[in-house]
Amino acid sequence: MYNIGTRINIDLTYLHSVSGGDAGFEKILLTSALADIQMNVDKLKTAWQNQDAEEVGNAAHTLKSVMVIAGLPQLEQYCKKLDVAFRDRLFHAEESNAVMAIIEGWTEAKPKLEELIAVY
């Protein structure tokens, strides 16, 4: 099983830069990002289990931009890696570590983001 090795840190620098300091807007973006990430991590899991290269690539492509908004640059890097690897629409089993890093990292990050949203 893949071990991320380092704790997931949330860095909202990008979010703050696009929001102009508007906390209400940040809360809306984070809430939306949370839902989008969950949906696409679920798609990624299913696509990986089904060895559906196109859907793995699609989920990774969508996730990479939403991970930035949610302040998850570590996970964004894994999404970028998958996005590039699956552009050829062939299944790359050797990328299982990146998939597991996204899934496990999201499992760790989600409650932290939910806590942040709750205190906005």
110 pLDDT more than 80: yes
- How is the chain split into domains, by residue range? 13-119
**Could you read off the pLDDT of 18-57 as tens digits, one per residue?**
999 999 999 999 999 999 999 999 999 999 999 999 999 9
Burial label, 106 (beta-carbon count in 10 A; 0-12, 13-18, 19+):
buried
Find where tokens 């990430």 sit.
37
Measure the CA dihedral 85/89/71/114, to 10°: -130
d(Cα 53, Cα 85) in Å, to the nearest integer?
10
Domain spanning 13-119, CATH class:
mainly alpha
Tokens of 29: 């973006």
**Could you read off the pLDDT of 66-102 as tens digits, one per residue?**
999 999 999 999 999 999 999 999 999 999 999 999 9
Does this model's pTM top 0.75? My answer is yes
34 close to 117: Cβ distance less than 8 angstroms: yes
